[in-house]
């Protein structure tokens, strides 16, 4: 055996070890995610249901954010309308005085 053969063998062994470690890390991550989902009462095997739940939550969050924006705009409109009405009444009163 010469040096290039040894390097090839060592490289193959190291590559195999890296693949095994990556697989192990993926397995650990998958188990951790499944554990967290289970602790929230969700079954990781029901992927369609889980996805639908997250889609619903996202839609709900966006609608709440939109409602908050509309509420702020409505409050501003009411304040500006009230001020404009008060100014109009003041001007009308000033002009009506003899």
Q: Are residues 54 and 41 in the same domain?
A: no
Residues 63 and 33 in one domain: no
Q: For the chain, give the number of residues.
A: 98
* Domain around 88: 46-98
Cα–Cα dist 70/50, whole Å: 30
Q: Do residue 52 and residue 37 come from a single domain? A: no
Rg of the chain taking only CA atoms, in angstroms: 33
Q: What is the pLDDT of residues 59-90, one digit of tens each?
A: 999 999 999 999 999 999 999 999 999 999 99
Q: How far is CA 96 from CA 65, 83, 90, 91, in A?
A: 46, 20, 10, 9
How many domains, in total, are found in the chain? 2
Pair 30, 58 in one domain: no
> Can you say whether residue 43 is alpha, beta or left, with left for phi > 0 and alpha for psi between -120 and 50 degrees?
beta
pTM of the predicted structure, to 2 decimals: 0.45
């Amino acid at each position: 055996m010469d040096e290039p053969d040894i390097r090839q063998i060592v490289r193959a062994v190291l590559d195999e070890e890296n693949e095994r470690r990556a697989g192990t890390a993926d397995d650990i991550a998958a188990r951790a995610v499944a554990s967290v989902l289970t602790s929230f009462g969700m079954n990781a095997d029901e992927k369609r249901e889980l996805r639908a739940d997250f889609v619903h939550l996202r839609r709900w969050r966006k609608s709440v954010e939109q409602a908050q924006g509309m509420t702020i705009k409505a409050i501003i409109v009411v304040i500006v309308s009230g001020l404009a009405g008060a100014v109009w009444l003041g001007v009308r009163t000033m002009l009506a005085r003899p």
